[in-house]
């Protein structure tokens, strides 16, 4: 089980991600392109400019996300993930029509994944019906997110999954 403390949706303070032995495996930080964006985001309650970066424990940026700024489109994010000097691009788009919870699918490395969260349960990333990872955040202080990698074959994609969960669900 991995965990990290997160702050409000406009905070740019880095959050360290810890493993079960309390060792840092990376950090996640909200980014703004310029000070005007931050001021606008404060007025819009931190939901408009959703740009995150994840760094590995070696301080290498491995994950960048950016929200589509058009308010008339469905909620969308553009992800750039770098693993072993290879760039991967992922597009997340809200697929939920009605109901409670969150749902999207995305393509990564020519495979289709699903991200789903019901109202009270852990969010899950699945592939072909198999749960690969789970994520949950608590909504009372201290604000923390918990991550569980259920399929150890995907250990090398752990920061990618954390970034997907945080980007899609933290600012939802």
- Residues near 135 by beta carbon (within 8 Å), at least 6 away in sequence: 122, 123, 124, 125, 145, 146, 147, 148, 161, 162, 165, 166, 169
Burial grade of 84 (CB within 10 A; 0-12, 13-18, 19 or more): exposed
Q: Model confidence over 121-158: pLDDT tens digits?
A: 899 999 999 999 999 988 777 788 989 999 999 999 99
Grade residue 98 by pLDDT with cuts at 50, 70 and 90: low
Among candidates 164, 32, 31, which has minimal Cα distance to 88? 164
* Of residues 39 and 9, more confidently modeled: 39
Instruction: Report if pTM > 0.95.
Output: no
Q: Is the pLDDT of residue 56 over 70?
A: yes
Grade residue 68 by pLDDT with cuts at 50, 70 and 90: confident
Q: What is the pLDDT of residue 133?
A: 95
Structural contact between residues 31 and 63, judged by C-beta atoms closer than 8 angstroms:
no
Q: Is the pLDDT of residue 159 over 90?
A: yes
State the virtual CA torsion across 148, 117, 70, 83 in degrees, nearest 10.
20
Report percent pLDDT > 70 for the chain. Answer: 96
Grade residue 172 by pLDDT with cuts at 50, 70 and 90: low
Distance between CA atoms of residues 52 and 67, nearest Å: 9
Among candidates 7, 14, 18, which has minimal Cα distance to 31? 14
Among candidates 108, 114, 144, 132, which has minimal Cα distance to 15? 144
Q: What is the pLDDT of residue 162?
A: 93
2-170 CATH, one of 2.40.160, 1.10.287, 1.25.40, 1.10.10: 2.40.160
Q: Mean pLDDT in the chain?
A: 87
- List the structure tokens of 111: 């495979």
Distance between CA atoms of residues 155 and 170, nearest Å: 22
Q: What is the pLDDT of residue 151?
A: 92
């Amino acid at each position: 089980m991995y965990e990290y403390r997160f702050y409000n949706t406009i905070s740019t303070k880095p959050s360290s991600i810890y493993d079960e032995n309390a060792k840092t495996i990376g950090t996640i930080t909200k980014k703004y392109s310029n000070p005007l964006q931050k001021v606008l985001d404060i007025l819009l309650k931190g939901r408009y400019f959703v740009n995150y970066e994840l760094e590995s424990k070696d301080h290498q940026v491995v994950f960048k996300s950016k929200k589509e700024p058009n308010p008339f489109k469905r909620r969308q994010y553009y992800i750039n993930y770098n693993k072993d000097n290879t760039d991967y691009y992922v597009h997340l788009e809200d697929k939920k029509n009605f109901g409670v919870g969150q749902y999207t699918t995305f393509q990564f490395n020519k495979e289709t994944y699903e991200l789903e969260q019901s109202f009270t349960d852990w969010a899950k990333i699945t592939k072909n019906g198999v749960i690969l990872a789970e994520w949950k955040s608590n909504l009372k202080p201290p604000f923390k997110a918990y991550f569980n990698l259920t399929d150890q074959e995907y250990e090398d994609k752990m920061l990618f999954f954390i970034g997907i969960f945080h980007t899609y669900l933290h600012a939802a």
